């Protein structure tokens, strides 16, 4: 088994047989006690380690431009980053004059982080700027899906994450460099936010529930034991 479709293909290209995918998935029990309460501010949230290899320089530039272009954006925008943040990220925020809109939360309890993501106006998912990014599916992506909040993913447009996002109607995926698409998506969400419209996603993501993934593992084990004891 392997964790993504692209990596499955890579294994098959070097001779592996009978390969299947087991996704990391999300655990419903983590969310059962949470009550989503959409933030009053226009919050953009990233949860987890954020290193220099995922620095969203162009995103920060877009946000800086929107502050100048859109009434109320400066007042409403809140960028909240939970977890360890590389110095280059904080420096880029400062350079783009976003310090007043930014909060570095540091390491926070898991329940707090999950409550943040279900309350957010926009979730930020940044894929590593690396050769294997097409098949890299961060574990938090599945929790983002379950949060039912719109996701902005930056990385290859043909990545496995982008495919799943399209399939589940969970947000928008584009490259780090495409500032026009990034800006258009954020402007749409902000317009909905000002109009009091919910940006909650409504696609079907239950295939990525850990119980459903575990059923696949159980089926594989049944097959193995059946072959052994027949």
pLDDT in tens, 186-206: 999 999 999 998 788 888 999
Q: Which residues contact 17 (CB under 8 A, 6 or more apart)?
A: none
Residue 18 DSSP label:
S
- Following CA atoms 59, 4, 13, 226 in sequence, which dihedral angle do they give, to the nearest 10 degrees? 180
Chain centroid, CA 2 distance in Å: 20
- The answer to whether the CB of 146 falls within 8 A of the CB of 66 is no
pLDDT tens-place string over residues 169-188: 999 999 999 999 999 999 99
- ∠ CA 120-124-125, rounded to 5°: 135
Q: What pLDDT sits at residue 202?
A: 86
First to last CA, the chain: 23
Look at residue 230 and tell me whether its pLDDT is greater than 60.
no
In this prediction, residues 56-61 reach a mean pLDDT of 98
In this prediction the pTM is 0.93
* 90-135 confidence digits (pLDDT tens): 999 999 999 999 999 999 999 999 999 999 999 999 999 988 899 9
Answer yes or no: is pLDDT of 88 > 70: yes
Distance CA 61, CA 182 (A): 10
The pLDDT of residue 44: 98
CA 125 to the chain's CA centroid: 3
């Amino acid at each position: 088994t392997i964790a993504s479709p692209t990596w499955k293909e890579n294994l098959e290209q070097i001779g592996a047989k009978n390969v299947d995918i087991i996704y990391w998935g999300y655990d419903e029990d983590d969310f059962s006690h949470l009550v989503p309460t959409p933030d009053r501010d226009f919050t953009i949230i990233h949860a987890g380690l954020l290193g220099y290899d995922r620095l969203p320089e162009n995103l920060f530039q877009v946000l800086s431009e929107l502050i100048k272009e859109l009434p109320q954006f400066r007042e409403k925008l809140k960028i909240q980053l939970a977890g360890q943040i590389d110095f280059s990220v904080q420096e880029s925020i400062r350079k783009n004059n976003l310090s007043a809109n930014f909060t570095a939360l540091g390491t926070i309890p898991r329940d707090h982080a999950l409550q943040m993501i279900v309350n957010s106006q926009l979730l930020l998912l940044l894929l590593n700027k690396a050769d294997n990014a097409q098949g890299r599916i961060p574990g938090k992506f599945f929790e983002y899906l379950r949060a039912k909040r719109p996701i902005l993913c930056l990385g290859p447009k043909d990545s496995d994450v982008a495919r799943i996002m399209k399939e589940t109607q969970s947000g928008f995926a584009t490259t780090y460099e495409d500032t026009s698409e990034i800006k258009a998506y954020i402007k749409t969400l902000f317009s909905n936010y000002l109009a009091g419209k919910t940006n909650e996603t409504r696609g079907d993501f239950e295939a990525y529930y850990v119980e459903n993934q575990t059923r696949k593992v159980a089926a594989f084990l049944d097959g193995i034991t059946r072959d052994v004891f027949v």
